[in-house]
């Protein structure tokens, strides 16, 4: 090719690279029309350039050499290079034993969340401890390299062995039984292999051993949604050389894996069937020249019966294999344990066809017996592969606490849920700078498990069989199994679900207006959501929330919020007739416990009262069950943080030792506190720094108000707002004469303003059907910023011009929640935090150009400007960070963020600290010293208290 | 301002964010973020390249440079040669198109994202992407010339 030709290839390649991937084909079609040779050269260069230098220099991990040390392990040699990384033989220098070490891809070192999740998985796998599962001894981390320490196995893989031909019947049955036993053990613990194939089966003197359990899950990279079990997509898309690589990975995949549908234990059983077929016949169950034909075979073709290929093989085995390879998981063996029984029967009955017929019949009888037993034990379980113990725990003493695993902290504004049989607890927790997730704990075990695929979850609720959870995330109603499998998004929803026996789910709907918060029903399998009942505006009903289905599945309870005290409270309604009847007055939701009790929070205390749901009336007197139960955010949630079921009670104790307003200097030395301890939110200093406006929650009235502290004179604070509904988020006007704030007094959160000093005139600034939260005033006093959650479900920042007739407009719309957004002192830039990367990070954006600059690294929240604009402060975890800022010509130059000090900052609200004008002191809301993270108190046998 | 020496703990096996966080916690008085990133990237490059060169010179009995790489990390002679060739080519690129060379240094040795690189160089992210793509092609051509091969034909 000529130099000119080279240049053309390069410039075309450059132009192609400048286009989006999906546009490149069209571009090349046009640019290389009529010159296929040119096109080919451009494509070759594109392929080379695409990956060139994309992985940073140090990440392309060079292999380990002999004598290298990974902590206590010394590398002795290389065993092979698996699909997941290099495998070495190594010596554990402490225990003087030889092990196998598998080094994992570099990506694992960097992401703490992924690492944590992986370690939790590994712990469960390590606990499997089964003779036919390769034991996982340890996970290690040496200077960022994550590695697994496993049992060193001597022998060859089944794949290697099969290259020589099929196995003799007896050996095949033995190996198959071992594998099935391993699967059964793992499935019982909720672990699915997902990548069962001959290369993952080692044939050792002690029998077959399964390798790489659960690791196939880790092949997912970034873009895969959690919980979704796509087939090893990276392997498919990162096409390397030749079809063989791709085909090799697909061979044993089940139809649901290929289609990207959720997988469960039966997926492993399909793979098992394919492996068994190959062991017996020496041929692959499904094959094809290209991956397309292979996929088509898996989806539609049926492998020949074993006995037609190997006449000596018993017909019973045909049935076993065929049932494993059923296309629909429902038609397969549902349970590896059943498979084990069947295989053992076939082996015991000998290899003769006659005996096989007998054994097949006997096996069927046994199977039926097992099935009947299973049904009896397991009742209405739909999928019984997760056969957990269903009998309730033996009675145990009283109380214990449940905490989420570090670094997660209980979501303070969310409500936990107990399974209907009272054996399992679900709750949400979040890490310091990230979205929440769902956790589950069986009450008779100590392990708290995170449920995959539940990022951003709130308001969990159980299915009647206790195998699935419904929850809400990003304003959507979702369901998931406890293992994170079968995730499903059902509808738009705000919160508060209840799941009935016939697959009916009731929930509180969501929409742009708070009036959309009423009850809807939907089938747990999906479909359209239908409205149930409606708000009665003539009786000032603002919203319905917290539906609870009653035992007949046709009636339910709900909470109605109304401006009228005689209307607000708990109602019972009929799904069929739509009739409703008021049961009692209430400030927040109720929980129903069969046979007939209501639990609710009254002035901070958890109470129980007998309730006859058939007659829709309470009887007797309420009895106190627990003191000081925390209340979740009043108007938005109308809930208290407790859950109840027959004989189990779970609640988050109310704050006995609330927070303090404390002054600190730049080194974190405490200089003194302001006022008494209490529950404070969203402080802001007046422009002259003489007065502090802060939100405070009062347990006695169960509401929030704004208080003012005179900082020059000290003394008790004075109340600023008096309405019984929540008033919060104070924002000073730049001239210090007025404070804008959020108030829920008319049902939804609106924006008001009140003059400071004197009688204080209040006026409504903005009212609309959507909840709005005041953020900050602009430095020139002409606009007030506030945040809203529109239909998209992602929080946005809006601005309200403070002139008569001013119409609010959207200021900041991000790909994720955007909050906590003070304007810079010159009014030209806005700082905010956004969770678009999966973790809250700080950005500064220029209002005029929309250009933005990332400021924080490793997370950050609630930014505050120093009043002269030269520094920006924010919180990262428990550290107060400071960044030097220079703004010139519409551009921001940020220095490197550095930590000033660490302190136990309170969490929640618009902001938890304010800087003084000179940036030398900070007034912060701090948790009291001795407070560990919040915990859930669980009480068993609470109902014995009722028999008095 | 403290100069970064190889003895500063910029561990090559840690992602640069972790190294950065350690420095931040140690209250290093960096004031200019751009400078910090640029220095880190240069240091990374120097460490890796020096290491590769030292391994090549050991055979010839050359003086050993004190290499900060974890000693147990073995690289293959091919990887070392590739790295040295890239370093040379990058130096040539710096003479012709300094900003493109800096983009490569920041992204490949510093591991910075496109947005971060844009911040450091004070240009738009689109400019960074254009430089990045053009630099990659330039380097590929330079490396090919070096090895005297044409671009490999496809399968």
Q: Let me know: does A340 contact A184? Beta carbons within 8 Å.
A: yes
Q: CA dist A33 to A543, A919, B154, Å? A: 63, 64, 20
Residues A649 and A676 in one domain: no
Nearest chain B alpha carbon to A40: B154
Q: How far apart are CA A505 and CA A733, in angstroms?
A: 47
Contact B18 A144 (CB under 8 A): yes
> Per-residue b/e over A126-141, b at no fewer than 16 CB within 10 Å?
bebebebbbbbbbbbe
Q: Which tokens belong to A401?
A: 């606490």
C-alpha dihedral, B127 to B132 to B133 to B139, nearest 10° = 140
pLDDT, tens digit, 9 for 90 and up, residues A662-701: 999 999 899 988 988 888 889 999 999 999 999 988 766 6
- Does some domain include residue B27? yes
Q: Residue A110 has what pLDDT?
A: 44
- Of A29-33, A814-818, A877-881, the poorest mean pLDDT is in A814-818
Q: What is the pairing mode between strands A727-732 and A738-746?
A: antiparallel
Here the CATH number for the domain that contains residue A784 is 2.120.10.30
A242 and B155 within 8 Å at the Cβ level: the answer is yes
Residues of chain B with pLDDT under 50: 1-28, 58-74, 150-155
Residue A397 pLDDT exceeds 60: no
- For chain A, count helices (H), then strands (E): 17, 58
From A325, A267, A336, select the one nearest A300 (Cα to Cα): A325
Residue A177's CATH number: 1.10.510.10
Query: For residue A275, how many other CB atoms are within 10 A of its CB?
Result: 28
pLDDT of A650 > 50? The answer is yes
CA distances from A833 to A116, A524, A740 (A): 24, 36, 22
Q: A724 touching B, CB under 8 A?
A: no
Q: What's the gap in Å between the CA of A21 and the closest CA on chain B?
A: 14
Task: Measure in Å the smallest separation between the Cα of B50 and chain A Cα atoms.
Answer: 13
Lowest-confidence segment of A239-243, A584-588, A616-620, A830-834 by average pLDDT: A239-243
Give the model's confidence band at A389: pLDDT under 50 very low, under 70 low, under 90 confident, else very high: very low
How sure is the predictor about A709, in pLDDT bands with cuts at 50, 70 and 90? very high
Q: Which of A10, A144, A894 sits opposite B13 (nearest CB)?
A: A144
Among A10, A58, A895, whose Cβ lies nearest the Cβ of B31? A895
Q: Is the pLDDT of residue A227 over 50?
A: no
Which among A13, A14, A69 has the least Cβ separation from residue B72? A69
| Of A6, A53, A884, Cβ closest to residue B108 | A53
pLDDT at A654: 65
Chain B residues within 8 A of A893 when measuring between CB atoms: 33-34
pLDDT at A479 over 90: yes
Task: Provide the pLDDT for residue A446.
Answer: 75
Q: Which of A284, A106, A47 is nearest to B18 (CA)?
A: A106
Quick check: A64 and B72 CB within 8 A? yes
Are B73 and A68 inside 8 Å of each other by CB? yes
Whether A481 has a pLDDT exceeding 80, the answer reads: yes
CB contact under 8 A, B74 and A62: yes
Residues B24/A896, Cβ–Cβ less than 8 Å: yes
State how far Cα A570 lies from the chain centre. 31
- Residue A125 within any structural domain of the chain: no
Report yes or no on A28 lying in a domain: no
- pTM metric for this prediction: 0.47
Residue numbers of the domain that contains A851: 659-927
Q: Is B37 domain-assigned?
A: yes
Min Cα–Cα distance to chain A from B24, Å: 6
Q: Partners of A704 in the beta sheet?
A: A697
A850 CB-contact burial (10 Å; exposed 0-12 / middle 13-18 / buried 19+): exposed
Domain boundaries, position B110: 12-153
Residue A53, pLDDT > 90, answer: no
Q: Judge: B33–A895 Cβ closer than 8 Å, yes or no.
A: yes
What confidence category does residue A263 fall into, taking pLDDT thresholds of 50, 70 and 90?
confident
The mean per-residue pLDDT over the stretch A250-271 comes to: 83
**Dist CA A946 CA A360 (whole Å):** 55
**All residues at 6 or more sequence positions from A324 whose CB lies less than 8 Å from its CB, including other chains:** A269, A270, A272, A273, A274, A276, A332, A333, A339
Cis ω before A595 (30° cut-off from 0): yes
The pLDDT value recorded for residue B57 is: 60
| Contact criterion met (CB below 8 Å) for A761 and A778 | no
Q: Which helix (H) or strand (E) holds A342?
A: helix A336-348
CA-based nearest distance B103→chain A, Å: 11
Q: What percent of chain A has pLDDT over 90?
A: 25
> Is residue A100 one of the residues assigned to a domain?
no
Q: Is there a contact between B32 and A18 if contact means CB atoms under 8 Å apart?
A: no
Q: Is A65 on the interface with B (CB under 8 A)?
A: yes
Partners of B103 on chain A (C-beta within 8 Å) are none
- How confident is residue A440, by pLDDT bands cut at 50, 70 and 90? very high
Is the domain of A607 the same as that of A711? no
* Cβ pair A149, A140 in contact under 8 A: yes
Alpha helices in A282-352 (DSSP H): 291-300, 306-309, 315-324, 336-348
Q: Are A568 and A615 in contact (CB under 8 A)?
A: no
**CA separation for the pair A229, A217 (Å, rounded):** 8
User: What's the pLDDT score for residue A122?
Assistant: 77
Of B48, B122, B134, Cβ closest to residue A58: B48
Domain identity same for A649 and A665: no
Q: What pLDDT shows up at residue B34?
A: 67
pLDDT of residue A421 exceeding 80, the answer is yes
Same domain (yes/no): A614, A663: no
For chain B, the 3-state helix, strand and coil shares in percent, each to the nearest 5, are: 65, 0, 35
Mean pLDDT of A509-525: 80
Give strand ranges (E) for A67-161. 69-70, 73-82, 85-92, 97-103, 136-142, 145-151, 156-157
Report d(CA A140, CA A131) in Å as an integer: 23
Map tokens 């011009």 to a residue.
Answer: A801
Q: Please indicate, yes or no, whether residues A683 and A555 belong to a single structural domain of this protein.
A: no
Residues A337 and A214 occupy one common structural domain? yes
Q: Is the link from the previous residue into A175 a cis peptide, with omega within 30 of 0?
A: no
In angstroms, rounded to a whole number, what is the distance separating the alpha carbons of residues A707 and A777?
Answer: 18
Judging contacts by C-beta atoms under 8 Å, the chain B residues touching residue A891 are: 122
Interchain contact, A45 vs B12, CB within 8 Å? no
- Are both A625 and A690 inside the same structural domain? no
The most distant pair of C-alpha atoms in chain B lies apart, rounded to whole Å, by 54
Residue keyed to tokens 């979040």: A430
Q: Which residues of A touch B72 (CB under 8 A)?
A: 64-65, 67-69, 75
Q: What is the pLDDT of residue A381?
A: 40
Separation of alpha carbons A550 and A671, rounded Å: 55
- Residue B141, judged by CB atoms within 10 A of its CB (0-12, 13-18, 19+), counts as middle
- Per-residue model confidence (pLDDT) at position A368: 47
pLDDT value at A776 more than 60: yes
Q: Are residues A826 and A702 in the same domain?
A: yes
Q: Specify whether A195 is catalytic.
A: yes
How far is residue A537 CA from its own chain's centroid? 37
Task: Give A738-804 as a DSSP string.
Answer: EEEEEEEEESEEEEEEEESSTT--EEEEE--SS-EEEEEE-TTSSEEEEEE--TTSS-EEEEEE-ST
Q: What does DSSP assign to residue B108?
A: I
Q: Which of A59, A64, A858 sits opposite B74 (nearest CB)?
A: A64
Residue A65 in any domain: the answer is no
Q: Please give the residue of chain A at the shortest CA–CA distance from B79.
A: A62
B16 chain-A contacts, CB cut-off 8 A: 56
- Residue A495: is its pLDDT beyond 50? yes
Q: Catalytic: which of A29, A141, A195, A552? A: A195
Length of chain B measured in residues: 155
A156 has a chain B CB within 8 A of its CB: no
Let me know if residue A218 belongs to a domain.
yes
Q: pLDDT, tens digit, for every residue of B3-27? A: 222 222 223 333 334 444 444 444 4
Q: What angle do CA A530, A536, A538 make, to 5 degrees?
A: 155
Q: pLDDT category, A924, cuts 50, 70, 90?
A: very high
Angle, vertex CA A729, rays to CA A724 and CA A735, nearest 5:
115
| Cα atoms in the 13 Å half-sphere on the side-chain side of A913 | 38
Partners of B12 on chain A (C-beta within 8 Å) are 58
Residue A224 has pLDDT above 50, yes or no: no
pLDDT in tens, A123-161: 777 888 889 998 888 888 776 667 888 888 888 889 888
A849 contact B CB<8A: no
Distance in angstroms (rounded) separating the CA atoms of residues A407 and A858: 15
pLDDT band at A2 (very low <50, low <70, confident <90, very high): low
DSSP B106: I
In whole angstroms, what is the distance from residue A471 CA to residue A450 CA?
Answer: 14
CB A480 within 8 Å of CB A487? yes
The one-character DSSP state at B26 is T
Interchain CB distance below 8 Å, B72 and A145: no
**Nearest residue to A27 (alpha-carbon basis) of A11, A49, A6:** A11
Minimal Cβ distance to A14: which of B48, B111, B137: B137
Is residue B101, in this structure, part of any structural domain at all?
yes
What ipTM score was computed for the predicted complex, to two decimals? 0.74
Domain membership of residue B2 (yes or no) is no
Indicate whether A335 and A455 sit together in one domain.
no
What's the domain count of chain B? Answer: 1
Same domain, residue pair A375 and A501: no
Q: A392 in a domain, yes or no?
A: no
A377: left (phi over 0), alpha (psi -120 to 50) or beta: alpha
- pLDDT value of position A382: 32
User: What is the structure's pLDDT at A752?
Assistant: 94
CA distance A244 to chain B (A): 14
State which of A186-195, A219-228, B133-142 shows the largest mean pLDDT. B133-142
Q: Indicate yes or no: CB of B33 within 8 angstroms of CB of A896.
A: yes
Instruction: Check: CB of residue A436 under 8 Å from CB of residue A456.
Output: yes
The yes-or-no verdict on residue A734 having pLDDT over 50 is yes
Q: Please state, rounded to an integer, the average pLDDT across all residues of chain A.
A: 80
Domain count, chain A: 4
- Domain assignment of residue B6, yes or no: no
* Mean pLDDT across A500-528: 84
pLDDT of residue A242: 21
A172: enclosing H helix or E strand: helix A169-188
> What is the per-residue pLDDT for A39?
86
- The pair of structure tokens assigned to A302 is 């049926």
Residue A223 reports pLDDT greater than 80 = no
C-alpha distances (whole Å) from A410 to each of A404, A430, A652, A926 are: 7, 6, 9, 17
Q: CA–CA separation, B41 vs A56, rounded Å?
A: 11
Q: Is A46 within a domain?
A: no
Q: Is A889 on the interface with B (CB under 8 A)?
A: no
A2 contacts on B by Cβ (under 8 Å): none
CB A598 within 8 A of CB A591: yes
Q: Is residue A16 part of a domain?
A: no
Specify which residues A146 forms β-bridges with. Answer: A141
Place of tokens 């109720």: A590
DSSP state of A151: E
With 60 as the cut, is the pLDDT of residue A319 above it?
A: yes
Q: How long, in residues, is chain A? A: 948
Q: For an interface test with A, which of B9, B11, B19, B72 has the most A Cβ atoms less than 10 Å from its Cβ?
A: B72
Provide the pLDDT confidence category of residue A269 given band limits of 50, 70 and 90. Answer: very high
* Inter-chain touch B45–A57, beta carbons under 8 Å: yes
In a domain, B17, yes or no: yes
DSSP state of A433: T
Q: Answer whether residue A42 shows pLDDT above 60.
A: yes
The alpha-carbon gap from B110 to the nearest alpha carbon of chain A, in Å, equals: 7
Q: Which of A896, A901, A902 to mutate to test the interface with B (most CBs of B within 10 A)?
A: A896
**How far is the alpha carbon of A848 from chain B, nearest alpha carbon, in Å?**
16
| SS3 state of residue A18 | helix
Whether A857 sits inside 8 A of B17 (CB atoms) is: yes
CA distance A873 to B41: 27
């Amino acid at each position: 090719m000529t130099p000119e030709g080279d240049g053309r290839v390069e410039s075309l390649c450059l132009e192609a690279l400048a286009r989006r991937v999906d546009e490149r084909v069209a571009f090349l079609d046009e640019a290389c029309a009529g010159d296929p040779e040119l096109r080919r050269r451009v494509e070759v260069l594109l392929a080379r350039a695409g990956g060139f230098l994309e992985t940073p220099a140090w990440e392309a991990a060079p292999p380990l050499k002999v004598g290298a040390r990974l902590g206590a392990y010394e590398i002795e040699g290389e065993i092979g290079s698996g699909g997941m990384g290099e495998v070495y033989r190594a010596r554990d220098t402490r225990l003087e034993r030889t092990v196998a070490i598998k080094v994992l891809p570099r990506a694992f070192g960097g992401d703490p969340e992924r690492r944590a999740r992986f370690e939790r998985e590994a712990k469960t796998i390590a606990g499997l401890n089964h003779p036919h599962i390769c034991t996982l001894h340890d996970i290690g981390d040496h200077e960022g390299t994550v590695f697994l320490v496993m049992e060193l196995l001597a022998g060859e893989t089944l794949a290697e062995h099969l290259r020589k031909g099929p196995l003799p019947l007896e050996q095949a049955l033995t190996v198959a039984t071992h594998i099935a036993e391993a699967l059964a053990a793992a499935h019982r613990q909720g672990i699915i292999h997902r990548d069962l194939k001959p290369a993952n089966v080692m044939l050792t003197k002690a029998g077959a051993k399964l390798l790489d359990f659960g690791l196939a899950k880790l092949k997912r990279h970034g873009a895969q949604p959690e919980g979704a079990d796509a087939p090893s997509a990276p392997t498919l898309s990162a096409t390397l050389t030749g079809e063989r690589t791709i085909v090799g990975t697909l061979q044993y995949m089940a139809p649901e894996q290929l289609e990207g549908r959720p997988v469960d234990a039966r997926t492993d059983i399909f793979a098992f069937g394919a492996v068994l077929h190959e062991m017996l016949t020496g041929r692959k169950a499904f094959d094809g020249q290209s991956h397309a034909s292979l996929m088509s075979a898996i989806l539609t073709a049926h492998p020949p019966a074993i006995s037609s290929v190997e006449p000596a093989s018993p017909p019973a085995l045909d049935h076993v294999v065929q049932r494993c390879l059923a296309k629909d998981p429902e038609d397969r063996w549902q349970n590896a344990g059943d498979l084990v029984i069947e295989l053992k029967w076939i082996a015991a009955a000998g290899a003769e066809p006659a005996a096989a017929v007998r054994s097949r019949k006997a096996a069927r009888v046994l199977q039926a017996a097992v099935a009947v037993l299973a049904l009896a034990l397991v009742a209405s379980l739909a999928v019984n592969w997760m056969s957990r113990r269903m009998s309730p725990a033996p009675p145990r003493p009283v109380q214990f606490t449940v905490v989420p695993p570090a670094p997660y902290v209980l979501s303070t504004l969310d409500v936990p849920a107990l399974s209907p049989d009272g054996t399992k607890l679900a709750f949400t927790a979040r890490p310091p700078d990230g979205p929440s997730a769902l956790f589950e704990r069986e009450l008779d075990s100590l392990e708290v498990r995170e449920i995959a695929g539940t990022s951003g979850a709130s308001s969990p609720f159980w299915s009647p069989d206790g195998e699935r959870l419904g929850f809400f995330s990003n304003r959507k109603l979702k369901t998931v199994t406890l293992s994170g499998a079968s995730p499903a998004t059902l509808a738009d929803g705000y919160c508060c679900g209840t799941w009935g026996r016939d697959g009916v789910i009731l929930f509180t709907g969501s929409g742009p207006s708070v009036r959309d918060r009423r009850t809807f029903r939907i089938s747990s399998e999906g479909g359209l959501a239908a409205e149930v009942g409606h708000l009665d505006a003539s009786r000032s009903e603002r919203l319905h929330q917290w539906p609870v289905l009653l035992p007949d599945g046709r009636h339910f309870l709900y909470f109605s919020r109304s401006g009228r005290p005689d209307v607000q409270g708990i109602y019972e309604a009929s799904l069929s007739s739509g009739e409703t009847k008021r049961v009692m007055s209430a400030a927040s939701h109720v929980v129903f416990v069969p046979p007939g009790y209501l639990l609710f929070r009254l002035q901070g205390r958890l109470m129980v009262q007998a309730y006859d749901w058939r007659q829709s009336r309470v009887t007797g007197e309420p009895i106190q069950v627990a003191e000081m139960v925390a209340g979740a955010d009043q108007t938005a949630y109308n809930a208290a943080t407790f859950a109840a079921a027959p004989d189990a009670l779970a609640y988050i104790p109310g704050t006995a030792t609330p927070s303090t307003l404390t002054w600190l200097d730049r080194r974190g030395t405490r200089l003194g506190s302001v006022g008494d301890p209490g529950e404070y939110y969203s402080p802001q200093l007046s422009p002259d720094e003489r007065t502090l406006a802060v939100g405070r929650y009062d347990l006695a009235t169960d509401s929030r108000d704004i208080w003012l502290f005179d900082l020059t004179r000290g003394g008790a604070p004075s109340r600023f707002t008096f309405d019984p509904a929540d008033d919060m988020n104070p924002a000073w006007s730049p001239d210090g004469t007025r404070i804008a704030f959020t108030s829920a007094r008319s049902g939804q959160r609106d924006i008001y303003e009140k003059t400071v000093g004197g009688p204080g005139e209040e006026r409504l600034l903005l009212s609309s059907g959507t909840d709005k939260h005041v953020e900050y005033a602009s430095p020139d006093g002409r606009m007030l910023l506030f945040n809203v959650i529109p239909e998209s479900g992602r929080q946005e920042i809006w601005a309200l011009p403070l002139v008569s007739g001013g119409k609010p407009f959207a200021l900041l719309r991000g790909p994720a929640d955007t909050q906590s957004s003070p304007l810079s002192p010159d009014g030209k830039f806005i700082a905010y935090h956004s969770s678009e990367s999966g973790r809250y990070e700080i950005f500064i954006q220029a209002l005029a150009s929309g250009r933005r600059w990332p400021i924080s690294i490793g997370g950050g929240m609630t930014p505050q400007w120093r009043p002269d604009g030269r520094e920006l402060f924010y919180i990262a975890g428990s550290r107060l960070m400071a960044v030097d800022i220079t703004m010139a010509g519409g551009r921001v130059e940020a220095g490197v963020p550095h930590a000033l000090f660490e302190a136990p900052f309170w969490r929640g609200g618009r902001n938890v600290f304010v800087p003084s004008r000179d940036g030398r002191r900070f007034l912060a809301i701090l948790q009291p010293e001795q407070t560990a993270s919040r915990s859930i108190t669980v009480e068993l046998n609470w109902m014995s208290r009722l028999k008095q | 301002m403290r100069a970064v020496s190889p003895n500063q703990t910029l561990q090559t096996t840690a992602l640069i964010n972790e190294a950065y966080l350690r420095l931040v916690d140690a209250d290093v008085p960096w004031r200019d973020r751009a400078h910090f990133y640029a220095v880190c990237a240069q240091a990374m490059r120097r460490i890796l390249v020096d290491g590769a060169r030292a391994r090549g010179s050991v055979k010839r009995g050359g003086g050993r440079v004190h290499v900060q790489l974890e000693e147990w990390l073995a690289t293959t002679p091919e990887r070392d040669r590739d790295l040295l060739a890239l370093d040379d080519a990058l130096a040539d690129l710096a003479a012709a198109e300094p900003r493109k060379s800096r983009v490569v240094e920041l992204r490949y040795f510093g591991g910075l994202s496109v947005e971060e690189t844009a911040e450091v160089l004070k240009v738009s992210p689109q400019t960074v992407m254009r430089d990045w793509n053009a630099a990659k092609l330039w380097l590929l051509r330079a490396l090919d010339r070096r090895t005297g091969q044409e671009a490999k034909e496809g399968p």
